[in-house]
Amino acid sequence: MKFSKAFVITALAASANGYELLKNYSKGFRIGAATNTIHYNNANYVNAMKAFNYMVAENACKFVSIQGTKGRFNFNDCDAHYNKAKELGMDFRGHALIWHSMAPKWLEYEDSNTMRNSIVNHITTVLKHYEGKIDTWDVVNEAIDDDSNGNGWKYRNSFLYQKNRDFIDLAFKTARQVAPKVKLFYNDYNTEGIWGKSESVYQFVADLKKRNIPIDGVGLQYHVSVQNQPQFNKINDLIGRYCKLGLEVHITELDVSCVNSCNAGDVESRQSQVFTNALKACLNNSCCTAFLVWGIGDPDSWLGNDKKGLLFNGNYQPKSQYNALLNVLKTTTAASLGNGGNTNTNTPAVDVSKNAVKLQDGWYTIKNTGSGKYLYVDKAGDVENVVIGSTARKWKLTNVSDGYVTLTSELGNYMLDVANGEDVNSANLQIYSAYGGNAQQFVILKTSNSNVYTIGTKASSGQRVLDVEKRGTTDGSNVIQYALNGASNQTWTFESTSAPSSGSQGGQGGNNNNNSCWSSRLGYPCCKSCNVVFTDNDGKWGVENDDWCGISSTCNNSNTCVGAQGYPCCQNSCIVYSTDADGRWSIENGDWCLIKNNSC
């Protein structure tokens, strides 16, 4: 794509600062920094601020800064940050409504009920004060314990948690009620893919989504060093997983400490690689919509000047780390940046509302008109590739919302899925454990031919459709998403069929002896048993070790007895070892079985 003449002139013009500004190449993508009013009297500091288009206050908008004394709200410092942002043409990010570490002492000493009222009052007052001014807030900050190892999560044992175990739910629900148009984020550190806590925070956030707690995004703080930093693939994949939950991601507090390498000749080069990996991963995922560093220059960094963790030096002149980010922005297309970062290309607009067709819920085989072959996947499992084939695989179509559908494979609880939820041409089609996010929703679009359709992806807002790559016609030809062009490799028919037998649904899906079934994607382990206690749109749930677990698709084939799914009826034994609400229990073949009422 060519840049407009006006954009080129703006970007290439020498700024009053004497260096090119990041914001001049951001083209709508938010790139920003944390600031502090105590430095606003330093002209070099303020000039460096002008490189950015997004600002967050380091401390001024936190609980204790605004309401240090109960009932007395002082917005002076937070307002000063906001007003400076507006003066410099920057958007402003709210941080943070609830954080145990910068909460006033009076809140800590309150009893549970009084504290709940104080939390609600503080959130309400702050959000109303900035109504129509700040569109994104960190609602809760750093609530997950550092010892969380990726196998579930532990809440930080703060005074907030001790007195109100549901304070996180309370905070998000209150914020949504008061400010329904504001984007609500959870923000935390050690979440960049290095530590086990990264996975725990992901699982925690997935649980918020599952329980319909109103959360819109996740802030990955990204305080790292040249010795401890995520590789590109790890952070890229992690952001992609959040995209699949339907969440936005912000990199919120990036700095890169030199730690024990501060005098090494290549330290800035190594730090630059960390910065650019983070920015590239963000730009590579459409849901990553902001990138912020935690300070302007080394002298104002919380790390200390000697750790050299930021983009500007002691004189507030750009370092090589700054130039590395600038080069990333320069080499990323304007269209991509304007779309929040994903590598987009121009596509003809498809009016989804006018062209969407509603098919009845049920089982279908899906045939490509160009090849006469069917939408096919060989076996069950996450990221199994989707192709065309002579064998007619069955897909369960379920209408969800806004005209979109999900398509579940006959092989188990796996849905058709756009890899990484990307809005790009040639993104691969696969199956993945069912969770129903944007990557797993599709829209059936009419064509000029009766009963012939294109299948748009929600990941692209319906602008890209299922496409047999390179117009292949042989078994195994790959299926991707691509901009609509009307060719026969993009058109499909839906042939209604019967539900698959229980044997075929089981396929090779979900192993109930490991952590790889569909529920793992939502942060819950696979159940070892097949005892169903709850069913929702995600699937069938059990309870083990006092926590939810997902029922594996292999349980579809289990020899179960009525009233106790997952356990067989006793074939020979009538010896009663236990009795509960399900009935009378005996033991056969070293496991429990349920005694049938008419057999003993």
Checking if the pLDDT of 559 tops 80, the result is no
Please tell me whether residue 163 adopts helix, strand or coil conformation.
Answer: helix
**C-alpha–C-alpha distance, residues 333 and 584, integer Å:** 68
Checking if the pLDDT of 352 tops 70, the result is no
Dihedral of alpha carbons 130, 131, 136, 140, sign: positive
pLDDT digits (tens, 9 = 90+) for 383-437: 899 999 999 999 999 998 778 999 999 999 899 999 878 888 888 999 988 878 8
pLDDT for 511 equals 36
**C-alpha–C-alpha distance, residues 144 and 156, integer Å:** 5
pLDDT for 470 equals 87
**C-alpha–C-alpha distance, residues 221 and 218, integer Å:** 9
Nearest to 19 by CA among 308, 317, 329, 315: 317
Q: In which band, very low, low, confident or very high, does the pLDDT at 194 lie, cut at 50, 70 and 90? A: confident
**C-alpha–C-alpha distance, residues 228 and 194, integer Å:** 7
pLDDT for 229 equals 83
Checking if the pLDDT of 504 tops 60, the result is no
Between β-strands 384-389 and 429-433, what pairing exists: parallel, antiparallel or unpaired?
A: antiparallel
Structure tokens at 572: 């020979």
| Extended beta strands in 469-589, E state | 479-483, 492-496, 534-535, 540-544, 547-550, 578-580, 583-588
Checking if the pLDDT of 556 tops 60, the result is no
Other CB atoms closer than 10 Å to residue 391's CB: what's the count?
Answer: 10
Among candidate residues 142, 253, 410, 422, the one labeled active-site is 253
User: CB of 468 within 8 A of CB of 478?
Assistant: yes
Checking if the pLDDT of 99 tops 80, the result is yes
Residue written as tokens 């006033």? 104
Checking if the pLDDT of 253 tops 80, the result is yes
What residue type is 201 in one-letter code?
V
Calculate Rg over the CA atoms of the chain. 27
Q: In which band, very low, low, confident or very high, does the pLDDT at 345 lie, cut at 50, 70 and 90? A: very low
Checking if the pLDDT of 81 tops 90, the result is yes
Average pLDDT over residues 165-186: 96
Please tell me whether residue 149 adopts helix, strand or coil conformation.
Answer: coil
**C-alpha–C-alpha distance, residues 395 and 367, integer Å:** 11
Average pLDDT over residues 264-268: 87
**C-alpha–C-alpha distance, residues 526 and 542, integer Å:** 9
The domain segmentation of the chain, as residue ranges, is: 5-338, 352-496, 559-600
Question: What is the CATH number that goes with domain 5-338?
Answer: 3.20.20.80
Q: Helices H, strands E: what count in the chain?
A: 15, 27
Q: What is the fold, at CATH topology level, of the domain defined by 559-600?
A: Endoglucanase; Chain: A (3.90.1220)
User: CB of 98 within 8 A of CB of 172?
Assistant: no
Checking if the pLDDT of 321 tops 80, the result is yes
Window from 14-23, 395-404, 535-544 with minimum mean pLDDT:
535-544
Q: Do the domains 559-600 and 352-496 match in fold?
A: no
Sequence-distant (≥ 6) Cβ neighbours of residue 51 within 8 angstroms: 17, 19, 21, 22, 23, 311, 318, 322
pLDDT for 552 equals 72
Nearest to 400 by CA among 420, 421, 415, 385: 415
User: CB of 392 within 8 A of CB of 532?
Assistant: no
Identify the bridge partners of residue 594 per DSSP, sorted by sequence position: 569, 585
Nearest to 413 by CA among 259, 541, 534, 234: 541
Q: In which band, very low, low, confident or very high, does the pLDDT at 454 lie, cut at 50, 70 and 90? A: very high
Q: In which band, very low, low, confident or very high, does the pLDDT at 79 lie, cut at 50, 70 and 90? A: very high
* CATH class as words, domain 352-496: mainly beta
User: CB of 202 within 8 A of CB of 236?
Assistant: no
Structure tokens at 6: 């006006």
In terms of pLDDT, which residue wins out, 398 or 244?
398
Average pLDDT over residues 542-546: 65
Q: Tell me the angle at which helices 320-330 and 267-283 cross, rounded to the nearest 10 degrees.
A: 30
Other CB atoms closer than 10 Å to residue 283's CB: what's the count?
Answer: 22
pLDDT for 325 equals 96
pLDDT for 339 equals 45
Structure tokens at 474: 């042989």
Average pLDDT over residues 462-490: 91
Average pLDDT over residues 496-524: 58
Nearest to 479 by CA among 426, 421, 404: 426
* Catalytic residue flag (residue 20): no
Window from 137-146, 300-309, 591-600 with minimum mean pLDDT:
591-600
Share above pLDDT 70 across residues of the chain, in percent, rounded to a whole number: 82
Checking if the pLDDT of 553 tops 70, the result is no
Structure tokens at 575: 């010896």
User: CB of 154 within 8 A of CB of 200?
Assistant: yes
Q: In which band, very low, low, confident or very high, does the pLDDT at 2 lie, cut at 50, 70 and 90? A: very low
Residue written as tokens 């005074």? 159
Sheet containing 534-535: order of strands: 534-535, 540-544, 547-550
**Residue 189: what are its φ and ψ, rounded to 5°?**
-110, 175
Q: In which band, very low, low, confident or very high, does the pLDDT at 279 lie, cut at 50, 70 and 90? A: very high
Average pLDDT over residues 554-574: 58
What residue type is 563 in one-letter code?
G
**Residue 473: what are its φ and ψ, rounded to 5°?**
-130, 0
pLDDT for 110 equals 96
